Structure 1
Amino acid sequence: MPKLQVVIASTREGRAGPTVAAWFVEQARAHAGFDVEVVDLKEVALPLFDESVHPRLRQYEHAHTRAWSERVDQADAYVFVTPEYDFATPAALSNALQYLVHEWAYKPVGFVSYGGVSAGLRGVQMTKQLVTSLRMMPVPEAVAIPFYSQHLNADTGVFDPGETQAKAARGMLDELGRWAGALRPLREAARA
């Protein structure tokens, strides 16, 4: 079964990322097309990129980079759960992406974005430019949740954006599965 890493992109205090990610992980596990792992960039805690050699050479100096490389390399597909910061990619996500090159290549990526009226979509568009330069395939299917806080039960802390978003999640997961399979020969050739 292909491995899907669900990456929580926001690292700031008071973030909604873990709550939105918990909802999406339920959707992904119910979909049953992937072995699902949650990766929280706040827990990964990468410093601002600090390698002296370009990542394309894979000559990692630091233990945190080697650990990040090993973890990312295990996945066949990714979903980034992300807000937008100032119409842009959160700095922690951009930094995490730029630490590596080969480990991301020939893998599909989907987005669960959330925010106010824009649902985080402007940040997703910027992130798509970055991931394509790493040879990742961003799938067009996505989950975009506007006004995410209206779907959060203040008493229980449960997030539920409704059936429309659940259907969008299933469609995105189906497409990620197709692309993960289609890109497998490219990943295997790159590793050889």
Structure 2
Amino acid sequence: MSHAPYRLTVIVASTRQGRFGPTVAGWLGTHLAERDDIEVDVLDLAEHPLPARLGPNPEPEEAELLAAVSPRLERADAFVIVTPEYNHSYPASLKALIDWHTTPWRAKPVAFVSYGGLSGGLRAVEHLRPVLAELHAVTIRETVSFHSPWGAFDASGRHLDEEAGHRAAGAAKVLLDQLTWWAVSLREARAARPYTV
């Protein structure tokens, strides 16, 4: 059994101007920093725009954009997707990332931290689950969701409401504990027996 830290890619999905995603990712980062069993890579899709056109043979400019992202997904043992809810679903930037990359998700766990209005982004999460199942990923049951979070965090990502912050921290621990179990177990399984589709 390996005790080496597993490689986690945190995907910040929103690319809109004035987005709240980096604040939520910062909050998550404070909880990830407390753990020595996780090696974190933050992939902010606003910093890595992907081609809108999908095809089997990317143009040279498209291939260059993909080359900055694809190896990071391949290296990951697990993912956390930080996503808002747009029109009862998830952002187009995340859809493009998923559609350009079909193999990096296979036999790897994916967890969700969502935010939005009254639903807290949970409708986006529910749309993502069957999409990722189609790509042979394992989605973690527990999620962390923030309902109407604007104004509830300081610039560093600290929750301003102590009680709500404590509840969110507890939810983050459960999520990360479950993700770690799956990440380590599936990493060992992939090493022992390559996953086939």
Query: Shorter-chain-normalised TM-score: which range?
Result: 0.7 to 0.9
SS class of match (2:113): strand
Instruction: Output the CA distance in 1 between the equivalents of 2:10 and 2:156.
Output: 20
Which one of the candidate residues 22, 25, 41 is aligned to 2:26? 22
State the identity as a percent: 37
In structure 1, list runs of 5 or more residues that go unmatched.
55-60
Taking structure 1 as the reference length, the TM-score comes to 0.88
SS class of match (1:6): strand
Instruction: Output the CA distance in 2 between the equivalents of 1:83 and 1:7.
Output: 12
Correspondence for 2:165: 162
Pairwise CA distance, 1:36: 1.0
CA RMSD of aligned residues (A): 2.0
Instruction: Output the CA distance in 2 between the equivalents of 1:157 and 1:68.
Output: 26
1:103-118 to structure 2, matched below 5 A, reads: 103-118=104-119
Taking structure 2 as the reference length, the TM-score comes to 0.86
SS class of match (2:150): helix
- In structure 2, what residue type is equivalent to 1:28? L
- Larger relative helix fraction: 1
Instruction: Output the CA distance in 1 between the equivalents of 2:30 and 2:73.
Output: 21
1:1-192 to structure 2, matched below 5 A, reads: 1-52=5-56, 62-153=63-154, 156=155, 158-160=157-159, 162-188=165-191, 189-190=194-195
Q: Over residues 59-91 of structure 1, what are the superposed CA-to-partner deviations in whole Å (9 max), with x where a residue is unaligned?
A: xx8232233221101111110011110001111
- In structure 1, what residue type is equivalent to 2:20? A
Aligned length: 183
Deviates more, 1:61-70 or 1:92-101: 61-70
